[in-house]
A and B are shown apart, each in its own frame.
Chain A
Amino acid sequence: MANLLAGFRYLINNSGSVLSLFGEHLRMAAIALAIALAIALPLGWLLARVTWLRGPVLGVLGVIYTIPSLSLFVLLIPVLGLGLRTAIVALVAYAQVVLVRNILIGLVSIDPAISEAARGMGMNGWQRFSRVEFPLALPLILAGTRVATLSIIGIGTVAAFINGGGLGRLLFDGVATGNRGKIVAGSIAITMLALGANVILRFFERRAALAVRGEEQAASS
């Protein structure tokens, strides 16, 4: 309890610096998520079409996911050096397995009759993807995105260890200086960020699910 109070006291007294770290963390997570999606979407699309690639690709991504985060960050230092860039590469790598798997499942679980109708009516590959497959896979893609975002935000705290910045700084500095208030403040800030991201992404996920079922859009009113 005393720790919690110390944490809040730290937040109030250092709101400026915490806010700027919060911004750093958010920016890092957003960049990592954007890059991760840019890789995962075409990769998932490819796996949906090329069946034999699924096992090997998901296997490799799964292995990456099981490497402890601190080790992965450290492993990357000799290659990419210290800093934000290295942190983002690691976060992107972590997010892949969740994103790619959900995109793949979203695309292959579409009713074959719907895909066949789309082909039979003369849609080309891009039209089928953008007008039919993507919107129908969107709820699962967004579910994957939400889980990936939460991991990125969580694992992103380790970025501070390799000079990547973000809210992890509060934790590492707090540990180094024995400042419990700072540690608790960092934890609170990260939790807020994760909860906020969860609520926002959840909203879009529900909306997409409604759209797929073709219900009157409660979400759009």
Chain B
Amino acid sequence: MSAIVVENLTKQFPDEPQPAVDQASFEVDDGAFVVLLGPSGCGKTTLLKMINRLYEPTSGRILVGDVDARSLPVTDLRRRIGYAIQQTGLFPHMRIEQNIAVVPQLLGWEKPRIDARIDMLLDLVNLPRSYRKRYPRQLSGGEQQRVGLARALAADPAIMLMDEPFGAIDAITRTRLQDELLNIQHKLRKTIMFVTHDVEEALRLADKIIIMRTGTIVQYDTPLNIVMQPRDRFVQQLVGTEDMLRRLSLITVSDALAAQTPGELTPALGSRGSTELATISPDADLRSALSQLLRGDNAALAVVDQQGATLGQITFADMHAAVADRAVGA
């Protein structure tokens, strides 16, 4: 089922020569994490803000959970969609608990329910419950963004819109927040639309990426397909598809294992090495596998799953085949 359907969506701001968003059409599956990626001014934020009607479309249609977004009172629509933004937009005069409680209160939840929800959300975003009584300015930037996330999740919306939420945060904290967002997403299975201009972030987070340029959608596909089969030069350059390490990082060890031709397995294993093969998890990506391979003495890694079962071995040739193979289709 599609959680969001966008049909021929166009936004023409007055006094501007070109539409900010031009005839965009796409569907977002229920529970999918879709990243809108593009250079600044490409219309990705405008597109996002039309979904909760912070901008009204000039033409076209948006279905949110099979309901036309324009058929709902705008405040009802927005209360059903979580919204997190770059500068967090936390209300400085409200305590953390009041900030998180905003939408549940607007929806008329009972106080005990709101209270329980606040505790649950603080746990979810890894903030101590003692933060309830604090004010936003007493928190670090990363902590504020966690509160922003908790606030967006407060009324348990099926859909979340996130506008460069980690854009203003230092690199280390950003990576940690990305990991936590992925964890949260695995638990909650929200439908997320996430705007960024950071390619690494897009590739890490997305189930699918919408690449935009001057108001139009250039390509809508999985990170791997975009890297392996970029639609045109623009996508190639934007995503850096020639970067082999980037390709490796999008393919898992088990993918590569599955691509092996039976029979040519296990040639001259451990011939150079004196010790046992180093092991790697099938869920790891090939980039870490390569790194591990280069670190050790052996020409292969043993693929061992969490139960300790050996699934096979992976060599440099497999990695080469994995990135080269797929490039053929481009």
Question: Which A residues contact B (CB, under 8 angstroms)?
Answer: 111, 113-114, 116-124, 127, 131-132, 135-136, 211-216
Flag the segment in B23-31, B76-84, B195-203, B269-277 that touches A: B76-84
Q: List 9 A-B contacts (CB under 8 A).
A: A114-B90, A114-B91, A120-B54, A124-B75, A132-B91, A214-B92, A214-B94, A214-B95, A216-B135
A211 to B94, CA, bound (A): 8
Question: Which B residues contact A (CB, under 8 angstroms)?
Answer: 52, 54, 74-79, 83, 85-95, 102-103, 106, 135-138, 151, 161
Are the CB atoms of B87 and A113 closer together than 8 Å?
yes
Instruction: Note all chain A residues with C-beta closer than 8 A to B106.
Output: 121-123, 127
Query: Closest residue to A217 on the B side, CB-wise?
Result: B135
Min CB gap A197→B, angstroms? 25
Instruction: Note all chain A residues with C-beta closer than 8 A to B76.
Output: 122
Min CB gap B69→A, angstroms? 13
* Interface secondary structure of B, over-half rule: mixed
Are the CB atoms of A135 and B93 closer together than 8 Å?
yes
Best-surrounded residue of A113, A119, A214, A215 (most CB of chain B within 10 A): A214
Instruction: Note all chain B residues with C-beta closer than 8 A to A216.
Output: 135
Instruction: Note all chain A residues with C-beta closer than 8 A to B85.
Output: 113, 116-117, 120
Query: Closest residue to B139 on the A side, CB-wise?
Result: A214
Query: Closest residue to B103 on the A side, CB-wise?
Result: A121
A30 to B76, CA, bound (A): 41
Min CB gap B86→A, angstroms? 7
Are the CB atoms of A214 and B87 closer together than 8 Å?
no
Instruction: Note all chain B residues with C-beta closer than 8 A to A121.
Output: 78-79, 83, 102-103, 106, 151
Instruction: Note all chain B residues with C-beta closer than 8 A to A213.
Output: 92, 135, 137
Min CB gap A146→B, angstroms? 20
**A120 and B135 contact, Cβ closer than 8 Å, known pairs A214-B92, A214-B93:** no
A122 to B103, CA, bound (A): 7
A118 to B74, CA, bound (A): 13
Query: Closest residue to A208 on the B side, CB-wise?
Result: B93
Closest 9 CB pairs of A and B: A117-B89, A214-B135, A122-B78, A122-B79, A113-B87, A120-B83, A113-B89, A122-B75, A214-B92
Min CB gap A192→B, angstroms? 34
Are the CB atoms of B93 and A211 closer together than 8 Å?
yes
A110 to B3, CA, bound (A): 34
Instruction: Note all chain B residues with C-beta closer than 8 A to A215.
Output: 135, 137
A107 to B135, CA, bound (A): 21
Are the CB atoms of B75 and A117 closer together than 8 Å?
no
A4 to B268, CA, bound (A): 111
Are the CB atoms of A119 and B78 closer together than 8 Å?
yes
Min CB gap B137→A, angstroms? 5
Best-surrounded residue of B76, B92, B103, B136 (most CB of chain A within 10 A): B92
A215 to B54, CA, bound (A): 31
Of B78, B92, B95, which is within 8 A of A212 by CB?
B92
A177 to B46, CA, bound (A): 74
**A116 and B89 contact, Cβ closer than 8 Å, known pairs A121-B103, A122-B106:** yes
Min CB gap B64→A, angstroms? 13
Instruction: Note all chain A residues with C-beta closer than 8 A to B138.
Output: 214
Min CB gap A122→B, angstroms? 4
Query: Closest residue to A216 on the B side, CB-wise?
Result: B135
Are the CB atoms of B78 and A120 closer together than 8 Å?
yes
Min CB gap A127→B, angstroms? 7
Query: Closest residue to B95 on the A side, CB-wise?
Result: A214
Are the CB atoms of A116 and B54 closer together than 8 Å?
yes
Instruction: Note all chain B residues with C-beta closer than 8 A to A114.
Output: 89-92
Are the CB atoms of B136 and A214 closer together than 8 Å?
yes
A118 to B93, CA, bound (A): 13
Query: Closest residue to A111 on the B side, CB-wise?
Result: B87
Are the CB atoms of B93 and A117 closer together than 8 Å?
no
Min CB gap B17→A, angstroms? 23
Min CB gap A218→B, angstroms? 13
A55 to B205, CA, bound (A): 48
**A117 and B90 contact, Cβ closer than 8 Å, known pairs A122-B76, A122-B106:** yes
Instruction: Note all chain B residues with C-beta closer than 8 A to A211.
Output: 93
Instruction: Note all chain A residues with C-beta closer than 8 A to B95.
Output: 214
Instruction: Note all chain A residues with C-beta closer than 8 A to B161.
Output: 120
Min CB gap B108→A, angstroms? 12
Instruction: Note all chain A residues with C-beta closer than 8 A to B86.
Output: 113
Instruction: Note all chain B residues with C-beta closer than 8 A to A116.
Output: 54, 85, 89
A127 to B262, CA, bound (A): 66
Are the CB atoms of B78 and A136 closer together than 8 Å?
no
Of B54, B77, B78, B88, which is within 8 A of A113 by CB?
B88
Min CB gap B302→A, angstroms? 50
Min CB gap B105→A, angstroms? 9
